[in-house]
Structures are given as structure tokens and as C-alpha cells.
Amino acid sequence: MSHQKIGIVGSGLIGRAWAMLFTSAGYRVQLYDILDIQIETALQELNKELHQLEQKGSLRGQLKAKEQFELISVTSKLEELVQNAVHIQECIPEKLELKQELYGKLDEILECGTIVASSTSTFMPSLYSKDLSKKQQMLVAHPLNPPYFIPLVEIVPAPWTSAEAVERTYDLMVSIGQRPVKLKREIQGFATNRIQYAILNEVWRLVGSGIMTVNDVDTVLSQGLGLRYALLGSLETAHLNAPGGVKDYFQRFGGEISAVSATYGPTPNTLKEEETLDDIAQQCEKIVPLDKLSARRATRDAFLTELAKLKKQF
């Protein structure tokens, strides 16, 4: 169990989740935020959440909730945060100017052995690290929400990120029980959103063209494809779905895949297609009214906790 220090910048939803993941493996975590009230709230919420997880039997790691909470400290000084930190996980809002300003400050005070990983869902690391002197220590480590229950972390280097920074981040994520994947080079949307958007585009087209309802199109995933994908990726699924494995699969179905793919049509512009958006929103709100979103999120998290336990058996 490690007692090294991890710094977390931004104590909102994702910063708090990382704090719990790192303390579950015994790391000392220091939280920094520009708003004192956010830090106070974060501490209260973390204390509450760790104990709730413990009561439900879902607390990660070997330490008790109280012991994990005691590993968390706070600071209102960025200079203090970076001191002796092996890793800094940046979790500030998704605004490029904010990130650029923060990374500029970090560049001046960062120790040479510290890696800074951004939780950003959308910005390639080159966008905020380009002109910095310690840019080889900076990369993206993108979690999926809720990170406590979904282990995937996408590690995305900028062209100048050192191989050592990538490897150390990878090993760190493994050490806290997450499941990192490495992209060899940065690309817009990383891997998760590129795949997620391909799905969103097609379900948008199927609903927008009146072929399916929201409920039915979501059922295709939740009662169909998603069940397989909870265990296997799409390529291993293909590998199992033909007698001779994946080569046989694409030899048999490649023509059909190309023919169907040619009918997809243009990429939807979801910002401009207001009629489809209104229709989707109306149908979604019938399924889960806006005032029931929190309850549904809690159901999702409870399900993911059980699924994580089940996955461990396979």
C-alpha cells in the first residue's frame, strides 16, 4: 500500500471521485480548489459518501472509511499542493482558457518528478500544454462517470509527453484498481467518445427518421448489445460470432457491414435539428422525469456496483 502524495486540483464531482479512488489504495490525497466553500463541501461529502459505501459493503480497498478519510487533506495554495506530489490529477471545469491558465501556473511551480494528468473529456493535451517548459510531464487521464464504479481510464499523451509519464500514469491507475488503456497518440474525442458518438449519431438518425421510439432504440442497447458489451468488446464479440473467429466473421459479414454503413447518411447536426431534439427530450422525460434524474442515477450506480462484483467472477 502506497503512502505517496497525490494532488487533486478541483474538488467537484470528478475531483472527489478521484480522491476516493486514490485513498482506497492508501495514497495521501491533498485537494485544492479556488473556492473555499467547494473544499468544505467536498470534505463533508467525502466523509458521508465513504461511510455510506462502507455500510453498503461497497467501499473499495482494505482500509476502513474513517482511515481513508484521514488520508485526505486540503489546501488553498497551489504551491503547497505540488510539493512532494508524485501525481496531480486536474479536475477543473471543461473550459480551455481555465485549463490553459492553470497549466501555465503549474508549469512554474511543478517539481520535475511530478506528472500532471487532466481529467478532461474533450481537450487533447497539446491544446493546453503546447508552450510550457514541463510539457513532457503532462497528459490526459480521462475517467468515465461515475469513476468509482466504472474502471476505464483513457491515457492520452501529447506529442511531447514522455514515455515515462505514460507508463507511470498507467501503473498508478492499475495500483488503484482502475483499468487504464493507452492511446499511442492524441486524437479528438479519444476512444470512448469517438465510439459513443458513433452510437449516438445512429440512434439520433433512427429516432429522427421516425423508424424507432426512444424507448425501443435504447432497448437495443440495454437489453441487447449492451449485455454482451458488459463482458466483451466489439472485436472479441465478432471473434466469437463466427466458427473460424474474427477473420471468418469479417469475411462472412464484411460485405453486409459495408453495405449497411453506406446507408447511414450524413452526420447529424444535433445543434440544428431542433425538432428531433424536442422529440427525443419529450420521450426521455416521459421515461425519466427531470425531477427523478437523481433517483435514476442512484439506481445506475447501484447496478454498476453489482455489475463490477459480477465482472470480477469472469
- Which residues form the interface with ligand NAD (CB under 6 A)? 9-15, 32-35, 38, 91-94, 98, 102, 119-121, 142-143, 145
β-bridge pairing 28-32 and 138-143: unpaired
Min dist CB 249 to ligand NAD, Å, is 33
Min dist CB 101 to ligand NAD, Å, is 7
Min dist CB 241 to ligand NAD, Å, is 31
Residue 86 backbone dihedrals phi, psi, to 5 degrees: -80, -25
Please say which residue, 47 or 145, places its beta carbon nearer to ligand NAD: 145
Helix 274-287 to helix 192-208 angle, to the nearest 10 degrees?
Answer: 100
Min dist CB 191 to ligand NAD, Å, is 14
Cα torsion 217, 273, 281, 225 to 10°: value is 20
Whole-angstrom distance, CA of residue 179 vs CA of residue 154? 9
Please say which residue, 26 or 147, places its beta carbon nearer to ligand NAD: 147
Please say which residue, 152 or 212, places its beta carbon nearer to ligand NAD: 152
Please say which residue, 144 or 220, places its beta carbon nearer to ligand NAD: 144
Min dist CB 197 to ligand NAD, Å, is 15
Please say which residue, 80 or 236, places its beta carbon nearer to ligand NAD: 80
- Dig out the grid coordinates for 74 from the structure: 486540503
Full DSSP string of 257-307: HHHHHTTS-SPP-TTT-HHHHHHHHHHHHHHS-GGGHHHHHHHHHHHHHHH
What is the number of other CB atoms lying within 10 angstroms of the CB of residue 38?
16
Using CB atoms, what's the residue nearest to ligand NAD? Answer: 12
Min dist CB 15 to ligand NAD, Å, is 6
Whole-angstrom distance, CA of residue 241 vs CA of residue 246? 8
Please say which residue, 101 or 306, places its beta carbon nearer to ligand NAD: 101
Q: How many CA atoms lie within 13 A of 302 on its CB side?
A: 8
Residue 84 backbone dihedrals phi, psi, to 5 degrees: 60, 20
Min dist CB 300 to ligand NAD, Å, is 12
Please say which residue, 152 or 203, places its beta carbon nearer to ligand NAD: 152
